[in-house]
Amino acid sequence: MSYDKSMIEEMEGSQFAKCICLTDISVKTVIVGFPGIGLTGSIAAQHISEKLNLETIGFIEGSVIPPVAVFIDGYLRHPYRIMGRKNSEIAVFIGESVVTPAGAFHMANAVMEWAEQHGAKEIVVLDGFPYLNPKDESKVYMVAEPEIKEKAEKLNIPPLKRGFIPGFSGAMLNKTMISSVDGLAFLAGTRPDLPDPGGAASLIKAINTYKGTDINVDTLMEQSESIKKKLSELALQTQEMNVQQQPRQKRKNTFYT
């Protein structure tokens, strides 16, 4: 993708993030999935983009983005991409790397600026949270602004009662609270140590409920079952190895031995 370098050269030398978009579109909903716990948000965002046949229409450039080149099937991709197309009411922001807390602030500003310029009415953040109760695995909860609470409650998706959302997701939601653009988040219970396609599938089902879309998640569920199977096999192998390597208990010396 070619672009006018002067658009970013004038910003060099300071911390910044800027959306560069080469396609003039109007959208109603911006879905954001950046790397977070279990990578649920970024996996879901990528899947949504593919199933809706969205194209790369822009990217985020900035000094706050880690110096990591991303490639897919041998082709370079921008680490932070804007996905959309003409006549689609949905645009999707996909991120591939984690930014610093200061970077998250600048990235949220950039996304909000783009959303306002392109007519968006709402920003939906997709992310995960580390569950404590096993029953919360892949279960989706919702966090929303007070102004849209009544609208959000009709989804029959339970709200999280109390807590905090760190990183970019938190910065983005804070930004919506001081903007005319509505903000809400769908959060899936997930393990923090592994990619979680099952959690991502649950987030997409929430999007289907909210937006009336029909995005198929079968492939994500298959990936989730495959990961669970491999984890079970690994746990069994580890348990067997521990048993084999356990030293035999020495007999205690007695008066007669």
Query: ∠ CA 118-124-106 to the nearest 5 degrees?
Result: 70
| CATH of region 6-217 | 3.40.50.10900
Domain ranges for the chain, please list them.
Answer: 6-217
pLDDT in tens, 41-59: 999 999 999 999 999 999 9
Distance from C-alpha of 239 to C-alpha of 244, rounded to nearest angstrom:
9
Residue 2's pLDDT is what?
45
Q: Rounded to the nearest 5°, which phi and psi values hold at 52?
A: -90, 5
What amino acid occupies position 2?
A: S
Can you give 61-116 as a three-state secondary structure string? EECCCCCCCEEECCEEECCEEEEECCCCCEEEEEECCCCCHHHHHHHHHHHHHHHH
Residue 69's pLDDT is what?
87
Whether 27 and 70 have beta carbons less than 8 Å apart is answered as: no
Q: What is the pLDDT along the chain (257 residues), one digit of tens a residue?
A: 444 555 444 544 578 899 998 888 999 999 999 999 989 999 999 999 999 999 999 999 999 988 888 888 898 989 999 999 998 999 999 998 888 888 999 999 999 999 999 999 999 999 999 988 889 998 999 999 887 877 777 888 998 888 889 999 999 999 999 999 999 999 999 988 888 999 999 999 999 999 999 999 999 999 888 877 776 666 666 666 666 666 555 555 544 44
Whether 127 and 40 have beta carbons less than 8 Å apart is answered as: yes
Residue 80's pLDDT is what?
94
Residue 56's pLDDT is what?
94
Beta bridge partners of 71: 76
Whether 93 and 34 have beta carbons less than 8 Å apart is answered as: yes
Query: Structure tokens of 234?
Result: 């690994």
Residue 246's pLDDT is what?
60
Q: Is 193 exposed, middle or buried (0-12, 13-18, 19+ CB in 10 A)?
A: exposed
Half-sphere exposure of 122 (CA within 13 A, CB side): 18
Residue 245's pLDDT is what?
60
What amino acid occupies position 244?
A: Q
Q: Rounded to the nearest 5°, which phi and psi values hold at 253?
A: -70, 135
Query: ∠ CA 59-213-112 to the nearest 5 degrees?
Result: 35
Residue 238's pLDDT is what?
61
pLDDT in tens, 205-241: 999 999 999 999 999 999 888 877 776 666 666 666 6
Of the candidates 121, 89, 111, the one whose C-alpha atom is nearest the C-alpha of residue 174 is 111
Distances (CA, A) of 96 to 11, 31, 33, 190, 217: 22, 15, 9, 19, 21
Residue 229's pLDDT is what?
74
